[in-house]
């Protein structure tokens, strides 16, 4: 009994405070950057919420804060971070391969306990879905598995509706990231490097 109490107290003492998200801009900045006011922080938090899930790993909250600083405050930031993030996001938006479509369809069929399409059906799905990046497929798979009411493979239109919207969001975000990077470069050239 005493041994259980010791191990229980040991494991409860090791709990770590969860990190707060969305506050990356409170004390973040380079020399010469202003601190943000509450309304500006709220705007940055809104920008963070609009970030496509596909880009969460490559475009962190700090970079979104820098996007805000460049676009709205016209402050200098490190352009190298933008260059790396843009390259990585462009890579993530490359069109998928046929095997990516197969895996997505097989996952959905397995979840719904229905049969996967034959070769002709797969070719049809492939022709309709090949322009989308494979990185969006896990999200459409979860969306369909969570919302589709019938235990069969959805028609291609179900995929297209979701993927069109998510692809458009990701493309818009990438364009905003590129524009912020261009502004950062222009500010760096006119005001000097950080």
**pLDDT tens string 128-183:** 999 999 999 999 999 999 999 988 999 999 999 999 999 999 999 999 999 999 99
Q: What is the mean pLDDT of the chain?
A: 85
Q: Quick one: average pLDDT of 70-96?
A: 93
pLDDT value, residue 23: 45
CA dist list (Å): 128 to 27, 44, 124, 132:
47, 36, 6, 9
CB 44: neighbour CB atoms within 10 A?
24
Q: Which of these, 71, 77, 104, lies nearest to 175 by C-alpha position?
A: 71
Q: pLDDT of 6-31, one tens digit each? A: 444 443 444 444 444 444 454 444 55
pTM above 0.85, yes or no: no
pLDDT of residue 168: 97
Q: Residue 55: which of 100, 85, 94, 20 has the closest Cα?
A: 85
pLDDT of 124 over the 60 cut: yes
Helices (H), the chain: 2-13, 38-50, 61-68, 79-92, 98-112, 119-129, 137-147, 156-191
Output the pLDDT for position 76.
85
Residues 6 or more apart in contact with residue 157 via CB below 8 angstroms: none
C-alpha to C-alpha distance for 184 and 170, rounded to whole angstroms: 21
């Amino acid at each position: 009994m005493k041994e259980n109490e010791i191990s229980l107290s040991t494991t409860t003492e090791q709990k770590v405070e969860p990190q707060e998200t969305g506050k990356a801009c409170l004390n973040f900045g380079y020399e010469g950057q202003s601190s943000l006011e509450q309304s500006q922080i709220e705007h940055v938090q809104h920008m963070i919420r609009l970030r496509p899930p596909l880009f969460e790993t490559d475009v962190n909250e700090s970079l979104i804060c820098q996007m805000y600083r460049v676009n709205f405050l016209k402050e200098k930031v490190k352009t190298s971070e933008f260059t790396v993030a843009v390259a990585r996001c462009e890579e993530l938006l490359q069109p998928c391969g046929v095997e990516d479509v197969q895996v997505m369809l097989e996952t959905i069929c397995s979840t719904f306990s229905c049969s996967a399409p034959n070769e002709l059906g797969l070719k049809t799905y492939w022709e309709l879905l090949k322009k989308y990046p494979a990185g969006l497929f896990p999200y459409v798979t979860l969306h369909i598995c969570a919302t589709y009411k019938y235990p069969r493979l959805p028609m291609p239109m179900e995929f297209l509706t979701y993927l069109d919207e998510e692809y458009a969001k990701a493309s818009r975000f990438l364009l905003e990231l590129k524009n912020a990077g261009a502004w950062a470069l222009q500010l760096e050239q006119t005001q000097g490097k950080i």
